[in-house]
Amino acid sequence: MSFLSTPRMAIRTPHRVVELGGRTRLMGILNMTLDSFSDGGRFVTGPAGGIELDAAVAAARRMAEDGAEFIDIGGESTRPGSREASPDEQCRRVIPVIEAIRAAGIDAAISIDTRSAGVADAALAAGADIVNDISALRHDPRMAEVCARRGAAVILMHMQGTPETMQVNPTYSDVVAEVADFLRERVDAASAAGIGRDRLLIDPGIGFGKTHEHNLALLRHIDALHALQSPVIVGPSRKAFLGAIVGETDPARRDLATAATVALCAAAGVQIVRVHNAAMMKQVTSVCTAVLGEGNLP
């Protein structure tokens, strides 16, 4: 891997133009779920799944203050083996949070993590900027139309299989080439559906239908994705392959391992990293920016 300057690009959303480049940005994770692998149940509690709205908004504010320029909100766990949550359940969990974040004046761009067109539509109406679709617009046939009509930015992620099946013997001949080819095809498909190229981001899907070796290969060659000429977002935070490397079974204790991958991503010119611990990762990206000589420290 060679050290690369982070390519400069602009992403258009319904509410703002987000300038990228010069340094790696942070996307903070706000899971409104009961069973996400690292922080499930933190803001949705009890048998009925009650929403801890004030706590969720406070967490979003802390992320923004700690340096997260994006906040990714999801109401459905997509950890290996998880089952799909209904659109109504997702909306019950996430729409009040998006509305409350906007009412609180928190200025971070909001990403809605969903495969459902109905959830995406409601979230965008409530103030979200980006749709983070782990199926890359393949799960819900209405998703591309909703994103195009709303003017949303869209994250297209690679995943082999579904969350329920993705870790059942994932197989590739050349994982880097196959992931790149898939993302190229999905960018073309999204563009053909009326979503502008300046609204598209790509994600190799670390941990989604990959073995530990596949994840390492993708990180080792993550700079290859810049050839697709869309901003690259990577989400390695606290994932199982890091636990396997450092011998840590508790996801919450994998932040130092995450920091190493964030530094590697920054050195490879990745525009955005999706993380749980924004404060720690802001230190990492700030040091990387200083060392790499970008001159864009805030």
Q: At residue 159, what is the residue type?
A: M
Does 239 qualify as catalytic in the annotation? yes
Asked whether residue 246 is assigned to any structural domain, the reply reads: yes
Tens digit of each residue's pLDDT (9 = 90 or more) over 162-179: 777 778 788 999 999 999
Give residue-wise pLDDT tens across range 77-135: 877 766 788 999 999 999 999 999 999 999 999 999 999 999 999 999 999 999 999 99
4 located within any domain: no
What is the pLDDT of the chain when averaged over all its residues?
A: 90
Residue 1 lies inside a defined structural domain of this protein: no
CB 112 within 8 A of CB 123: yes
> Could you tell me the pLDDT band of residue 297, with boundaries at 50, 70 and 90?
very low
Q: Do the domain assignments include residue 296?
A: no
Residue percentage of the chain with pLDDT more than 70: 90
Give yes or no for a contact between 219 and 1, defined as CB atoms under 8 angstroms apart: no
Catalytic residue selected from 93, 150, 238, 274: 274
Structure tokens, 281: 């990762």
Q: Which of 23, 115, 239, 282 is catalytic?
A: 239
Q: State the average pLDDT over residues 254-279.
A: 96
Domain membership of residue 117 as a residue range: 10-290
pLDDT for 188-233, tens place per residue?
Answer: 999 999 999 999 999 999 999 999 999 999 999 999 999 999 999 9
Is there a domain that residue 295 lies in? no
> Does residue 188 form part of some domain?
yes
* 206 lies in some domain: yes
297 domain-assigned: no
141: CATH = 3.20.20.20
pLDDT, average across residues 132-143: 97
DSSP-derived pairing of the beta strands 17-20 and 9-12 = antiparallel
Q: How many domains does the chain have?
A: 1
Q: Is 210 one of the catalytic residues?
A: no
Q: How far apart are CA 183 and CA 187, in angstroms?
A: 6
